[in-house]
Structure 1
């Protein structure tokens, strides 16, 4: 058997070669820190919305199967709660738990799933993407604010009502360059209209630029990510994100009677490395920044092996 021709190898190799190219560029300082921020804005504010809107503009809601989403979030929220209970209810515990369940669905997942499973697999993934951040980040924000309120009450400080905190978190997660174009694309699809060629072609070109640039930026970020310090905590986060979550999602999906491509996409999505949004939470709440930074780098580096293993297993199961 020609290993290079195996579909798992054929889809993973371009992904990790582009990340490696970005890592090299970062190490050699070909891209300045200021440029990384500008390129990230380009990806998130222009290229991703174009890709997401165009893909979902031809998808009809009645054809979507929402059971895989229920299976995924049952596992993810269950692991999040168990991790918080294990470490204790405080800001650090919540941020570390979020690091163990929040996948990099956009920067790595979209390109990988499209290469490996085609447009049908991509639509399944984007259905998850549309509410992934909305669900996990909103829950994490509310739990974090409750933890902060608990700490402040102990210090005699007043806090906003939990409903106000929940509504604010929900709005911030919904009005975002990832779920918003997905929802807009779905709404457009329900009209029965078709995008004119003069609009569709630029969106296609912008969307095709997303994959390579996003993966190179992942590599550049890794080159600037220190892996030292809090090794034990970092290993726990990586094991939770790369191995425990996909196992739980697989069991949950099996319990829901899900099989075939939806099962594979959900498990692979769960096996993706940690997403960068977790670091933003660590920064905002000024806790576990070193552990999350190291965890993000190690999770991405180890995904070369763990993600390959998960995809290979799912190719046999499927």
Structure 2
């Protein structure tokens, strides 16, 4: 347990530092949105491209990891769809926008935390395995989230944008593009070009600290006071049920060692901060989404080490 806590503690301390910097107004509020934009569109994609382009995937259970993460996400979405019929009644008492936020909270992972944890615990090999998880989950999670929000929510202010406009953020997502580019460079035997490769690696090194600080700055503990059971259901589903489903499935498919630990850890991540942006854009309950993100991030400081311990494979 010691190595796990030693590797994860700096990650969550960076998140706390980001929250403290914003709460103390050490940096102006205007700083955080451009910083998050820089991380999301430039730094983080650079890390994904550089990790995937040179990843040695021989002997790794790539197909099994793809299957369990894709299947786990779809199972959670399916369970949520069944729950939707009773969401308006006791005990949740959720309207459609509120349920759409719970829906997102059941499966969207905070990839910043995942890559930082993998790098701290397993080094480059863990980073490359986690990049595989990103390549599967990020496109699917974005697509399923948009479909759910469009199904349950009426856009604010009338008819709103059409399907093309709603799906365009999925098709142009910088993380998805980075994953496809990195995989293409890898499968094509090209790797990273001489000058561009080192540049991407330098940019990628800045992505994790900046991303974690931005995650902390976006936390809003005040939203937890009135959110109640919906936050509990989403957090329990994301931090307990999803990693259980993914972990058992991976074990049954023969995934072991570091690959199993990475697979379970990625499923056990807190909810992605950009879920809030999507909820706000497509008519979801943004305040409830913020509460789910905050609660899952705080609780993951305890649950993520526990899942890693159960999964084994930690040096």
Same fold, TM-score > 0.5, yes or no: yes
d(CA) in 2 for partners of 1:194, 1:251: 34
More deviation, 110-119/169-178: 169-178
Give, in whole Å, the separation in 1 of the partners of 2:213 and 2:160. Answer: 42
Aligned CA distance change for structure 1 residues 316 and 266 (closer, same or farther; 3 Å)? closer
Q: Do structure 1's residue 56 and structure 2's residue 52 form an aligned pair? A: yes
Find the counterpart in structure 2 of residue 99 from structure 1.
105
Determine the structure 1 residue equivalent to 2:198. Answer: 201
Structure 1 portions without partners, runs of 5+: 152-156
Kindly provide the CA deviation profile for residues 18-60 of structure 1, in whole angstroms up to 9, marking residues without a partner as x.
1121121111011222211010011111111211111112136
Q: 2:10 aligns with which of 3, 8, 14?
A: 14
Residue 169 of structure 1: how far off its partner (Å):
5.5
For the pair 1:35 / 2:31, whether they are aligned, the reply is yes
Deviation (angstroms), 1:171: 4.8
**2-structure distance, mates of 1:159, 1:12:** 42
Give the deviation of 1:119 after TM superposition. Answer: 1.6
Q: 1:26 aligns with which of 9, 22, 25?
A: 22
Q: Distance in 1 between matches of 2:191 and 2:134?
A: 23
Superposition deviation, residue 168 in structure 1: 6.0
Q: 2 CA distance for matches of 1:195 and 1:250? A: 33
How far apart, CA to CA, are the structure 1 residues paired with 2:160 and 2:235?
34
> Counterparts of 1:41 and 1:158 in 2: how far apart (Å)?
28
TM-score, length of structure 1 as denominator length: 0.85
| Backbone CA RMSD of aligned residues | 2.7
Query: Could you say what secondary structure the match of 2:21 adopts?
Result: helix
> Per-residue deviation at 1:259?
2.1
1-structure distance, mates of 2:192, 2:309 = 37
Contact 1:15 1:111 in 2 (8 A): yes
Matched, 1:309 2:306: yes
Superposition deviation, residue 312 in structure 1:
1.8
Within a 5 Å distance, the mapping from 1:1-318 to structure 2 comes to 6-59=2-55, 65-88=62-85, 90-105=96-111, 107-148=112-153, 165=163, 171-222=168-219, 226-315=223-312
Determine helix, strand or coil for the equivalent of 1:222. coil
